[in-house]
Chains A and B, each alone.
Chain A
């Protein structure tokens, strides 16, 4: 008899994907300005490290929240015992108001319809458990976050069928792509339970247009299925067009008393907007009472630490703080984004035009030796091992076209980002140079040596280059 479960022995957790392998390589040789200047720069991690000073100064001015106190009185005991899966009321109230503020108060949320969970990872899984049986399917536009393969499929047994989006229209969702995906699922004998979109998109960094959102509402209405809108990057929208939430569209279409109202669910988190992934704060918002009730009970498997709920309830209730944070954070993201795209431009590399997120969707198709995923992998390995940048290949995001890469820009200092851009420039130059030379000379070894040399040169350090 098999000792472990099928789940334990399969690889649906998706961790053998290149997305994670790049991480592993980074862990072995991480860049450090002083200790390891020729190490690999982490650009595969969608973290927001730009606005911690704002959080820290809030803490400095709000010591009560910091030390388990409310109005000077210790509430440690209360918090230590609080395990009610309905969540700390003050926290949920503050959180829904924060969500509304991000949406410029064009929509409002009812805290009773919000269910807390241990990060968006848990929220997404929980929703799938509530909406689909093992063997049923959800449609997802490609490219999509690699972690969805684990979060949506692994323990739930649910399948993902891709909605193929292409660069021909900036990877937007089209009616025909939706239909095709639905047909494909039928062909595979999979019952489609819903569509899941990430808005703003990871990895594209774009917000869904009103047209796409309306398309989605039409589609799920016609098919009688669910729509999950993962809006964890909603606070990272830094330029126009602004963020349009699915709730806004439903409101515009007067959907409140229709069936479809109950079939749209939102996933939120504070990992990206506030840059607090370690605190594991996720949430599900649904207008369907049964979903809320079931998800509430399920959240028992991943509640948010009461210590964290309390701290954040105080922070998010401070409206002066949140207003300032949201706008300042967006400003900084915009500036970083500018830095990266203009830097890449000077290297002759373009990006998908984007207005949100912590990353750019970079077009390196012209650097491929052939229009294949093998060539993409080849290029990716060079970039990781030789150029020393951990970026995410489009194939790991299930992109249908080879040559696209997700490059994060908000999880490092400005200097490091500049260094990364320099490395790319040199790399592109060297490729161009090598391509112009005779083919016999440009073998892998010499390319590696020359790249290593200039990586070393850039590190402003008198040490020997890393042998890799």
Chain B
């Protein structure tokens, strides 16, 4: 409409810029999947979704519990007497039983080594909402947070978009340090920022890591604590994958470390969620746990913008208070993840593909550097398009995670059944054995032009959902800034 341009000027910058990060070539993978989604019988040659970090392995346990506990629902005849009380409850402190249950659950996930205070539990709209909320509390527009790369692509949106906060990636090198964050790298980035007059307010880490699937060891955590304590900046720990740890070493939470070390507790904050550990992303359960009273108070007021539905609070309060169920769930979920991880990594090993050694997460960080024509991000993009179009797997290229080294891919393994894993592995085997990359029908254009393939967010909006699978909310990547800087 001809009026649209004039009206666009009437909108805010936030509404019209692309800082939400969704206009990225990354969506080609999603588009390919949405157009041609794999189905074992209806579409056996379709694209298998391996770009979505979902935990689908343990629904039967949760469903079983729900069936056995109809009183936990406010809609069943057993539970409906609570309907009104729950439906009118909008106190941003949350249902006390919900807070208590979450605090207890968080403690159990950490093997009982830490206890959490229910009064410090603040709700939010998923971890997405929690991360944004923490930024609003800790930083002003223009301030910066350090973030070790590679990192979850949607941080660009969650931490920056409406808050105006900057993200400063801290490079974690693979060859020397297995992508582990080093104090030297932190110091370097911090100093660079100071010299550029950028106000660094804190450091945000994801532990266990997305996309690496690794946990930080005690020494690493201690050095992070001493780093932030010394600089008097905040440490935000996104621990949403805490219960996806399936093998040694055990998960160590920042909560354990700050009990052991002399430090200013006002600097420490945890972001949690039930989307990964319990596989319930649809329920939007995000938690901010801060050791800083002012952040708790402010955060709680801000939580008005993303409270958890009391219907959901009520259900989960009952479920997570069932100690026997929780124990059983955590143990079984962990076992199934370990099993799935093993099947997948062994299958890859058989064709000479290795992954970063990992002990957590719903994905592996796959090393396809040997398959690159050259060690560049263009080559990574070429390989990626082949994987999507020819091998028919939607995997996530490392560049979308701001990885500085081309050739790494995040591949999710917990969002499908056993048979689909088999099919995926077969396809990979076939691909590697036939050395297909050379023969792939890829356009010989510089990758930059491919960035704006006729794709627009509108087309994504119109993605059709197949009858058995719903098009999920995608992990939104940031356009590969680092990639541009280096090529």
| Residues of chain A having any CB pair with chain B under 8 Å | 1, 3-9, 13, 15, 47, 49, 52, 55-56, 59-60, 63, 65-68, 74, 76-86, 118-119, 121-122, 125, 129-134, 150-151, 154-155, 193, 224-226, 258-259, 262-263, 271, 275-280, 288-291, 293-298, 300-308, 311
Q: Is the CB of B10 within 8 A of A4?
A: no
| B14, B132, B139 interface centre (most CB from chain A within 10 Å) | B14
Q: Which residues of B contact A155 (CB under 8 A)?
A: 136, 162, 302, 305
Interface residues of B in 245-301 (CB under 8 A from A): 266-267, 275, 279-284, 292, 294-295, 298, 301
Q: Kindly state the separation between the CA atoms of A251 and B315 in the bound complex, as whole angstroms.
A: 44
Q: Is the CB of A67 within 8 A of B83?
A: no
Q: Is the CB of B73 within 8 A of A280?
A: no
Known: A129-B15, A131-B11, A226-B10. A63 touches B77 (CB 8 A): yes
Tell yes or no: B129 within 8 A of A by CB: yes
Q: Is the CB of B305 within 8 A of A308?
A: no
Q: Is the CB of A68 within 8 A of B66?
A: yes
Known: A1-B232, A131-B10, A279-B310. A304 touches B284 (CB 8 A): yes
Q: Which residues of B contact A85 (CB under 8 A)?
A: 473
Q: What 10 A-B pairs are tightest by C-beta distance, nearest first?
A: A66-B75, A306-B282, A278-B310, A302-B306, A305-B309, A294-B15, A302-B125, A130-B15, A8-B298, A277-B90
| Residues of chain B having any CB pair with chain A under 8 Å | 1, 3-4, 6-8, 10-16, 20, 22, 54, 56, 59, 62-63, 66, 70, 73, 75-77, 80, 83-84, 86-90, 125-126, 128-129, 132, 136-141, 143, 157-158, 161-162, 199, 232, 234, 266-267, 275, 279-284, 292, 294-295, 298, 301-302, 304-312, 315, 457-458, 461, 470-473
**28 A-B residue contacts at CB 8 Å?**
A1-B199, A3-B138, A4-B292, A5-B139, A7-B137, A7-B140, A8-B294, A47-B88, A66-B80, A67-B75, A77-B59, A118-B284, A118-B306, A130-B15, A132-B12, A151-B304, A262-B7, A277-B90, A278-B87, A279-B311, A289-B4, A293-B458, A294-B15, A295-B15, A297-B157, A303-B284, A304-B309, A311-B75
User: Beyond the given A262-B7, A307-B312, could you list 13 further A-B residue pairs with CB under 8 A, ordered by the A residue number?
Assistant: A4-B138, A5-B136, A8-B298, A55-B83, A60-B80, A67-B76, A76-B59, A118-B284, A193-B10, A291-B15, A301-B162, A302-B306, A308-B309
Q: Kindly state the separation between the CA atoms of A132 and B59 in the bound complex, as whole angstroms.
A: 43
Q: Is the CB of B66 within 8 A of A76?
A: yes
Known: A55-B83, A311-B75. A305 touches B162 (CB 8 A): no
Please give me the residue from chain A that is nearest to B128 by CB atom. A300
Q: Is the CB of B129 within 8 A of A302?
A: yes
Q: Which residues of A contact B199 (CB under 8 A)?
A: 1
Q: Kindly state the separation between the CA atoms of A311 and B470 in the bound complex, as whole angstroms.
A: 18
Closest CB of chain A to B479's CB: distance in Å?
A: 15
Closest CB of chain B to A264's CB: distance in Å?
A: 11
Q: Which residues of B contact A262 (CB under 8 A)?
A: 1, 3-4, 7
Q: Kindly state the separation between the CA atoms of A8 and B59 in the bound complex, as whole angstroms.
A: 39
Q: Is the CB of A263 within 8 A of B20?
A: no
| A79, A118, A290, A294 interface centre (most CB from chain B within 10 Å) | A118
Closest CB of chain B to A460's CB: distance in Å?
A: 25
Q: Is the CB of A4 within 8 A of B298?
A: yes
Q: Is the CB of A302 within 8 A of B305?
A: yes
Q: Is the CB of B77 within 8 A of A60?
A: yes
Q: Which residues of A contact B161 (CB under 8 A)?
A: 298
Give the contacting residue for A133; candidates B13, B80, B128, B315; CB below 8 A.
Answer: B13
Q: Kindly state the separation between the CA atoms of A320 and B126 in the bound complex, as whole angstroms.
A: 35
Closest CB of chain B to A192's CB: distance in Å?
A: 11
Q: Is the CB of B309 within 8 A of A280?
A: yes
Closest CB of chain B to A293's CB: distance in Å?
A: 6
Q: Kindly state the separation between the CA atoms of A78 and B129 in the bound complex, as whole angstroms.
A: 22
Q: Which residues of A contact B304 (CB under 8 A)?
A: 119, 121-122, 150-151
Closest CB of chain A to B130's CB: distance in Å?
A: 9
| B161, B199, B234, B470 interface centre (most CB from chain A within 10 Å) | B470
Q: Kindly state the separation between the CA atoms of A83 and B126 in the bound complex, as whole angstroms.
A: 10
Q: Is the CB of A303 within 8 A of B7?
A: no
Q: Is the CB of A4 within 8 A of B294?
A: yes
Q: Which residues of B contact A307 (CB under 8 A)?
A: 282-283, 309, 311-312, 315
Q: Is the CB of B283 within 8 A of A306?
A: yes
Closest CB of chain B to A97's CB: distance in Å?
A: 20
Please give me the residue from chain B that is nearest to A194 by CB atom. B10
Q: Which residues of B contact A306 (CB under 8 A)?
A: 282-284
Closest CB of chain B to A302's CB: distance in Å?
A: 4
Q: Kindly state the separation between the CA atoms of A146 and B159 in the bound complex, as whole angstroms.
A: 29
Closest CB of chain B to A441's CB: distance in Å?
A: 43
Q: Kindly state the separation between the CA atoms of A276 and B129 in the bound complex, as whole angstroms.
A: 22
Closest CB of chain B to A161's CB: distance in Å?
A: 17
Please give me the residue from chain A that is nearest to B302 by CB atom. A155
Q: Is the CB of A7 within 8 A of B136?
A: yes
Please give me the residue from chain B that is nearest to A310 by CB atom. B282
Q: Which residues of B contact A7 (CB under 8 A)?
A: 136-137, 140, 298
Q: Which residues of A contact B11 (CB under 8 A)?
A: 130-131, 288, 290-291, 294
Q: Which residues of A contact B309 (CB under 8 A)?
A: 278-280, 304-305, 307-308
Q: Which residues of A contact B84 (CB under 8 A)?
A: 49, 52, 56
Known: A4-B295, A8-B294, A133-B13. A118 touches B307 (CB 8 A): yes
Q: Which residues of A contact B90 (CB under 8 A)?
A: 119, 271, 277-278, 280
Closest CB of chain B to A464's CB: distance in Å?
A: 30
Q: Which residues of A contact B12 (CB under 8 A)?
A: 129-133
Q: Kindly state the separation between the CA atoms of A250 and B55 in the bound complex, as whole angstroms.
A: 47
Q: Is the CB of B472 within 8 A of A66?
A: no
Known: A1-B199, A130-B14, A311-B311. A59 touches B75 (CB 8 A): yes
